[in-house]
């Protein structure tokens, strides 16, 4: 009888969870990549860890807002992981030639430049910028995900955007 109850609980917990993961995996991974400054492996780890936490809370949040819940988990995990001192080797390299304007790879290069600049922001500023301008969340939801007042979230986003502008303008090299 105990085993039947456990199986029933697992089925209840799984109702909708698989569909949610299948539908939102790529979007969550992209947000996590932005939160980690473009580190795909770390982003995948964050998404997996966040989904494990969501699994245990699924019965409580399934009918309410699982997307907001998992996004909040991602922000916290990204901030915590950013405090680690060492993540192993990271390949770096500067491409000597600028891409041609009609080259399709120029869009990829711009995205990579933005991800590199995002990686240089402090975790809370990065999270505020990603949630506000990539996820297009209202300031109230950004504040809720960061666990701070709206004014603080607004300040993080503003400072993050200002720093991004500075970083991106510093990395523009004159052609010629």
Check: CB of residue 54 under 8 Å from CB of residue 73: yes
Question: For the whole model, what pTM was predicted?
Answer: 0.56
- So what's the pLDDT on residue 112? 86
Domains and CATH numbers, the chain: 2-83+105-170 (1.20.140.160)
Burial of 83 (0-12, 13-18, 19+ CB in 10 A): exposed
| Per-residue model confidence (pLDDT) at position 111 | 84
- Taking a C-beta distance cutoff of 8 angstroms, is the pair 75, 47 a contact? no
**pLDDT digit of tens for each residue in the chain (176 aa)?**
344 444 444 554 567 899 999 999 999 999 999 888 888 888 999 999 999 999 999 998 888 889 999 999 999 988 887 766 555 555 556 655 555 666 677 778 788 888 889 999 999 999 999 999 888 899 999 999 999 999 999 999 999 999 998 888 875 554 44
Query: What value does the CA radius of gyration of the chain take, rounded to a whole number of Å?
Result: 19
Q: What is the pLDDT of residue 176?
A: 41
DSSP letter string over 82-125? Answer: HT-S----------SSPPPTT-THHHHHHHHHHHHHHHTS-HHH
Cα-flanking dihedrals φ and ψ of residue 107, to 5°? -65, -40
pLDDT at 65: 85
């Amino acid at each position: 009888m105990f085993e039947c109850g456990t199986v029933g609980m697992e089925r209840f917990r799984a109702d909708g969870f698989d569909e949610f993961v299948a539908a939102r995996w790529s979007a969550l991974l992209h947000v996590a990549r932005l939160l980690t400054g473009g580190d795909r492996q770390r982003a995948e780890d964050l998404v997996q860890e966040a989904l494990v936490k969501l699994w245990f809370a699924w019965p409580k949040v399934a009918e309410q807002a699982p997307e907001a819940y998992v996004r909040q988990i991602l922000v916290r995990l990204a901030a915590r992981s950013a405090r680690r001192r060492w993540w192993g080797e990271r390949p770096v390299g500067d491409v000597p030639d600028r891409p041609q304007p009609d080259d399709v790879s120029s869009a990829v290069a711009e995205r990579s430049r933005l991800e590199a600049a995002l990686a240089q922001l402090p975790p809370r500023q990065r999270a505020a910028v990603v949630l506000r301008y990539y996820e297009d969340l209202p300031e109230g939801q950004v504040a809720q995900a960061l666990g701070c007042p709206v004014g603080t979230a607004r300040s993080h986003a503003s400072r993050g955007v200002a720093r991004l502008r500075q970083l991106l303008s510093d990395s523009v090299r004159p052609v010629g």
